[in-house]
Amino acid sequence: MQKNIMPAIIIAALVISSCNNKDSEMTKTAYTWADSIAPPVAEKKAKELIAHGDTRIDNYYWMNDYFKKGPDSTKVVDYLKAENAYYDTMMSGTKTLQENLYTEMKARIKEKDESVPTFKNGYFYYSRVVEGKDYFVYCRKKGNLQAAEEVLLDVNAMAEGHNYFSATGFDVSMDNKLLAYGIDMLSRRQYDIYIKNLETGEIYKDKIPNTEGGPVWANDNLTLFYTSKNAVTLLSEKIKRHKLGTDAATDKTVYEEKDPTNYIGVSKTKSDKFILIGSGATLSSEYRYIDANKPEDAFKIFQPRMKEVLYDVDHANDKFYIRTNLQAKNFKVMTCDEMKTDSASWATLIAHNDKVLIQGFDLFKNYMAISERKDGLTQIHILNTKDNSSHYLSFDEAAYAANIAYIPDYNTDVMRYNYTSLTTPNSVYDYNMVTKEKKLMKQQEVIGRFKPADYETERVMATAKDGTKIPISIVYKKGFKKDGNAPLMLYGYGSYGASMEASFSSVRLSLLDRGFGYAIAHIRGGQEMGRSWYEDGKMNKKINTFTDFIDCAEFLLAGKYTSKEHLYTSGGSAGGLLMGAVVNMRPDLWHGVIAGVPFVDVLTTMSDPSIPLTTNEYDEWGNPANKENYMYMKSYSPYDNVTKQAYPNMLVTTGLHDSQVQYFEPAKWVAKLREMKTDKNKLLLYTNMEAGHGGASGRFKALRDRAREYAFLFALEGITK
């Protein structure tokens, strides 16, 4: 879940210490908080929540009313505004620091930049950004890169007058004349689809509301398939077919998902020969397909859903290629004929390996590029589909991420991949699968004095309480001393099988250059060490995620990378759940916590199918209708486990329009923490009243969020510049 006060905080002039880094030598100064200012106190209105004979009292359930348009809607907004005013007052002494951080972060970004072009159907497609602008300009050139530029969409112009704006899901018709795309202006991930004539510039009247935003053209250049959402639950509910020039209200439903636990979507194969409809949840999936040249045909089932079997499909060379965990926990790759797609007709192409997770693949006319993960690190496997010969690309750093970059050109022998590490900016390579030669096409340019050699990385293993070895990736600036005096940020996520890569961030330099270390805990619930890593961190094994993270923190403390007085932690969304759980379990470990759009009221949310995404996630967290699942979720749900104890300093952020983790979860959590906590540490809630789950739109607006978070850390650490 796949948020009237006296002014003036002042900075006191008390010198405490200096940072470890000689290049960024600075004075630490005690920060004086406005502790005489009382925080908002939320009204308590007890509501009984009863299930399985168990009664929970939720004193802040009324905060759901803005979402449900209930009688307390105005009161909810008033409370969030009061929290924002309290936040502004408490952080007012950091305004200059926040502005300096924003300027510093922005200064590292190359403001005028351009992506590496990709070739498709006679055109080179690319995006560029203009100096001083927040959004992309999407362009193409016909035939070669010396041709005249054709602007498809200038999102800067489109976004004018909007507080939030997102354009996504671009698809060009096979005759290269029409562009379909999705627009979200509220940050609820509800996209309206528009169609633009690329020859005349006309925007057609064919507006299609409330979609996932990923339209797919059939090969007739007249028919568009898209995913329609339920307006309340925001679930992807139907696949519809739209005919150019017709009213969207008359669009035909070609598939309706009856099971609310499944996600659905529509796509096209790499070969452009088939349209696919995918339906899947955490444990199982199913596909349907039609010939892209015959959009009026009925979709045929590729292979009926099998219990606890996942598969996905692509097509090349008159064959379907299938990645599946059928009798293969870490997945294998199989093929089948176009006319015989049932699983009995699948033949193994790449066998299962219990030490190697197959994450995905990209198809070309003569080759397949396979994304794999071994020992926690990504690797790229190249297979010649004509003679079955294969080889691997090699990477030298101890901790890195190398991922296949999808390119639409099916006929090429050149695959593209992205490479990055904690000290290497994102680099785009083209790799010739015939000659085995690679070419650096572009590396993220970091403006200023950044030099990779000024920083060091480590990859270490912490031991969990059950003996499992947990990888940790660490980066810091040279001169960092392991004497327990350095500040360190520990980041974690650990859900949905999402692997947290050891990747570069120019924004993170603002931490490292001020003496911070930065560590990523690759805890269970992710998929870094294979499919079992994920399965051992979800459902009724979810506690492993939290205890792994605590054990990683203990490892770093024992190694004197930091101390409890200087250890900070952060996580967002499901990573915010992690934050909520570990501050309940071990509040003594952390000096400060940043919880972004945190999923903290697990039990109540998962008990309400009207809340977006709830039913899709029963296989991730459990279904509270099952008593065993209910009691297990209750045992760790952060909101339900807030108790009378001392909590660390905390900054909690949310967005009023968040569709993934509703604003009321963090708001209620903060209210309950204020009621229960026994300490005098800082507890701040900041709500972006215009944004949703992804935060602010635009490449520069998002930097304001990071500057806000870093200023909170620096205030706690006594760093004023």
Q: Which residues are catalytic?
A: 573, 658, 693
Tokens at 713, concatenated: 């850390």
- Could you tell me which of 556, 698, 697, 540 has the C-alpha nearest to residue 628? 540
Tokens at 99, concatenated: 């502005």
Q: Give me the residues paired with residue 567 across strands.
A: 488
Tokens at 449, concatenated: 């004095």
Distance CA(672)–CA(666), nearest Å, equals 10
Handedness of CA 138, 139, 145, 149 (dihedral sign): negative
Sheet strand arrangement including 356-363: 356-363, 367-374, 377-384, 390-392
Determine how β-strand 567-572 pairs with β-strand 488-491.
Answer: parallel
Distance CA(422)–CA(511), nearest Å, equals 13
Tokens at 153, concatenated: 């969409």
Q: What is the DSSP letter of 109?
A: B
Q: Which residues of 392-404 are buried (b: 16+ CB within 10 A; e: fewer)?
A: ebeeebebbbbbb
By the 8 A CB rule, do 95 and 679 touch?
no
Distance CA(259)–CA(368), nearest Å, equals 34
Residue with tokens 């005919």: 243
Q: What's the Cα-to-Cα distance from 623 to each of 68, 305, 309, 666, rounded to whole Å?
A: 22, 21, 20, 22
Tokens at 312, concatenated: 């996905």
Tokens at 292, concatenated: 């892209």
Structure-derived torsion over alpha carbons of residues 503, 508, 513, 519, reported in degrees to the nearest 10 = -60
Residue with tokens 């096979």: 174
Other Cβ atoms less than 10 A from the Cβ of 454: the count is 16
CA atoms within 13 A on the CB side of 574: 23
Distance CA(350)–CA(325), nearest Å, equals 12
Distance CA(237)–CA(251), nearest Å, equals 14
Tokens at 443, concatenated: 């590396």
By the 8 A CB rule, do 420 and 426 touch?
yes
